[in-house]
Structure 1
Amino acid sequence: MNLEENPKQNVIEEKELKPLNGGPVLLLLLLELTLSIVFFVLGCIFLDNENYILGGFMLAIGIVAFFAFFFLIPGLHIVNPNEALVMTYFGQYYGTIKHQGFYYTHPFASAFNPTHRGAASTASANGSQTNGMQDAPTLSKKISTKTMTLSNERQKVNDVLGNPIIIGAIVIWKVADPTKAVFNVENYKLFLSIQCDSTIRNIARLYPYDTFEDDSDEKTLRGSSQEIADSMKAELQQRVEEAGLNIQEVRITHLSYAEEIAAAMLQRQQAVAIIAARQKIVEGAVSMVKMAIEQLGEEEIIVLDEERKAAMVSNLLVVLCGNKDIQPIVNTGSIY
């Protein structure tokens, strides 16, 4: 069969179970266990009194009831808050319990979780690998619907200019559809981790680390980190939608140049900062010199010709723009 003709043939729709209350069922099972012991004891008594028919009948009922108790007891399940239980019945999807409580289901229906220790060990033997704490096998077969954090390891990528950078992020996520998380992917935690790595790499290579220009409107990894994190969230959500996961937030936790170019980029940043600072100093010095000459002329404190104005401007600019303390020289004579 061509898979393109029926792309949804393996999609399983979630079916929420409404099982029996486990409290009354547990009381009935305990009563059954007690009666089985009573029948077993009475059967032994009747057999001892040579009443073989009644004794054998009661003994058989006691033995059958005793083993029936252990046959029926696996149907009891406890679901804690923010947990779900996905059930299968002889390889078929049976249903999902999504609400907290104590329930009783079919004794042959079993919980299924691909991240459970047994399932994870089987996947590892088949060649799958896990990465990080999020992919470690769990002890419970229940699916946690709590909000969780995936800490993505730092990875080296190239920005849009080809500069190697180191970037790391964390992902705040939760399981929104336990049925999809269990049946649509092999291991939803490992699936999320791999998709997170791919998403960060794809988004980071679309932007430069920095433009080194104050008036530039171009988005950069350093200057527009929140907007880029939102883009990562949108793309990651699209990638993990089929696994029933909900991405609540993506945060960039580490961003730096790679070691091989860090020193050169630091010098470039320092040069840009020095040029910007010098530009501000010169602009301020020119305005101050202009103001001084205008005030001297308006108040007629001193009359300066063009040559003296030029000398004064030169001296003031040297004083105001210098990066060292100026040693004043007092002139007691004529400048000519």
Structure 2
Amino acid sequence: MENNRPRSSESSLSPLSGWPVLIGLVAAEALLITALAQLDPNRNTGWIVLGTAVGGVGFLLTLVGFFVVNPNMSRVMVLFGRYRGTVRTDGFWWINPFTSKHKVSLKAHNMASQKIKVNDQVGNPIEIGAVVVWRIADTAQAMFDVEDYEEYVDIQVEAAVRKLASSHPYDEHDTSADVVSLRGDTEQVTGELQVALGERLERAGVEVVEARISHLAYAPEIASAMLQRQQAQAIIAARRQIVEGAVGMVQDALELLKAGDVVELDDERRATLVGNLLVVLCSQESAQPVLNTGSLYN
């Protein structure tokens, strides 16, 4: 059941540049040290201790506020349990020291799913695997709407691949010709996989850049039998093509004999000639000539 909680949405945050803050921090510490150095240690011990403590705490807190954003990286900012925004601009920045800064990579991630065994649409056990290229599109959803977005992607990819494999036959010979097969309709299958992953990973703010089937094969226990069936189908298809070509050649030969008035053929002689030509054209062995010294009718 879909969670009714509103989805998080990324918002941009513009922090202060870190360089002016760093210069101001150094200047403030220099002034504090100068002021403390001018005090008399015998008369102003309390002020020296207090100034040193305040300066040290302020210096440490200010240092905590500095952070760096590298190219193709981002920082998700959370202040006292509330989302404040995301910094995507690379550079040296400063923000409230009490703000939590979570790194989220914006780079493209390339993952290869494990080879999983599943039954296809007609029940044949097959092995299938996929390669998926993805990246974070919404950092707020990735951080707050799922527990671990990388693990979430791994699990959803496997679930999508399993559903895809069970929705199509392995080969077009396993069912009617108008059904999309995993082996024969690669582009359509990968398109379905990418759309299905996009819908599943939208909750985590993940964009699917590309999805491809990387491994597809029959399971080992039926691979040998399926190979024999494919070989038989290939032989039948080749034989059918040979017969169709031979019939066409016989028709052409009969028409040429008739047009050239080479010989008059009655039905019996025509049948004998057709049979001999088909044997010669369809046979896998070389024809052996036979000399007939008598009549066809003797």
Common topology (TM > 0.5): yes
Is 1:31–2:21 an aligned residue pair?
A: no
- Alignment of 1:87 with 2:77, yes or no, is yes
Partner of residue 107, structure 1: 97
Taking the aligned partners of 2:52 and 2:217, their CA distance within structure 1 comes to: 73
**Does the CA contact (< 8 Å) of 1:87 and 1:93 recur in 2?**
yes
| Distance verdict in 2 for CA 1:84–1:275, change over 3 Å | same
Partner of 1:7: 4
C-alpha distance in structure 1 between counterparts of 2:248 and 2:92, whole Å: 80
Distance 2:117 2:244 in 1: 41
Is residue 117 of structure 2 the alignment partner of residue 156 of structure 1? yes
Q: Which amino acid aligns with 1:229?
A: T
TM alignment of 1:26-65, pairs within 5 A: 26-43=22-39, 46-47=40-41, 50=42, 52-53=43-44, 56-58=46-48, 60-65=50-55
The answer to whether the 8 Å contact 1:42/1:59 transfers is: no
Q: Distance in 2 between matches of 1:322 and 1:212?
A: 27
User: For 1:317 and 1:7, how far apart are their aligned partners in 2?
Assistant: 73
Q: What do you get for the CA RMSD once the two structures are aligned?
A: 2.4
**Matched-pair contact (CA < 8 Å) for 1:212–1:269:** no
Q: Does 1:69 align with 2:59?
A: yes
Query: Retained in 2: the 8 A contact 1:40–1:61?
Result: yes
TM-score when normalising by structure 1: 0.81
Unaligned runs of at least 5 residues, structure 1 = 113-141
Q: Which amino acid aligns with 1:100?
A: D
Task: Trace 1:300-311 onto structure 2 (pairs within 5 A).
Answer: 300-311=261-272
Q: Distance in 1 between matches of 2:195 and 2:119?
A: 21
2:128 is paired with a residue of what secondary structure? strand
> CA separation in 1, counterparts of 2:255 and 2:174?
35
Question: Residues 38 and 325 (structure 1 numbering): CA distance in 2 closer, same or farther, change over 3 Å?
Answer: farther
- Tell me the number of residue pairs that the alignment of Structure 1 and Structure 2 aligns: 297
Aligned equivalents of 2:20, 2:289: Cα separation in 1: 100
* Cα 1:240–1:215 shift into 2, 3 Å: closer
- Among 191, 207, 214, the alignment partner of 2:168 is 207
Greater length-normalized contact order (CA 8 Å, ≥ 6 residues apart)? 2
* Residues 37 and 66, structure 1, Cα contact 8 Å, conserved in 2: no
Instruction: Determine the C-alpha separation between the residues in 2 that align with 1:181 and 1:23.
Output: 30
| TM-score scaled by length of structure 2 | 0.91
CA gap of 1:297–1:12, structure 2 versus 1, over 3 A, is: closer
Percent identical among aligned pairs is 42
